[in-house]
Amino acid sequence: MSPSTISLHDKQFTPYLPATQILGAVRTIATRLNQDYAGQRPLFLVVLNGSFMFAADLMKEMTIECEVTFIRVASYQGTTSSGEVKEIMGLQEEIAGRHLIIVEDIVDTGHTMQELLQQLQAKQPASLEVATLFTKPECLQHELALRYIGLELPNEFIVGYGLDYDGLGRNYPDVYKVL
């Protein structure tokens, strides 16, 4: 049973999305990816740190041959996007001619994703798609082609299921929103 509220740093959070709903969204994305990439061997590029839970659950549902690698980028400070993308850990695999799927926890402003897509497109993959568990359409500041979306959310600051508030809250299986 989930706590009725959680405290992280100076903020209180209340339950928002149960783990069962989140896992349903993950399975829906996986089903589409398994269909769309049947007979191919895509490379899943997992954006750390927030996407680790989503990626783990997504990979458990993949029935196609695929590979997984990781990249770490940062654009958040506290509860808002800084708008500045900093690549911390780079991609080691050769991606030219490969089918690449970026696995992201959440796309809100789109700053990070826009920059990441531009950097990766320059490396000439055969195809480049985004699988995001959450998106906040009213926050988007870039026109992005997000093909695989788990859930569209209003502009609420959320934690849990890999998402954090200054490093805390990633460990909860449910998602919580700030009070």
Q: Point out the residues that are catalytic.
A: 108
Task: Provide the β-strand partners of residue 99.
Answer: 127
What lies within 8 Å, CB to CB, of 69 at 6+ separation is 43, 44, 45, 46, 91, 92, 93
By residue count, the chain amounts to 179
Distances (CA, A) of 111 to 75, 83, 115, 150, 163: 8, 6, 6, 19, 17
Q: Among 69, 65, 13, 79, which residue's Cα sits nearest to residue 46?
A: 69
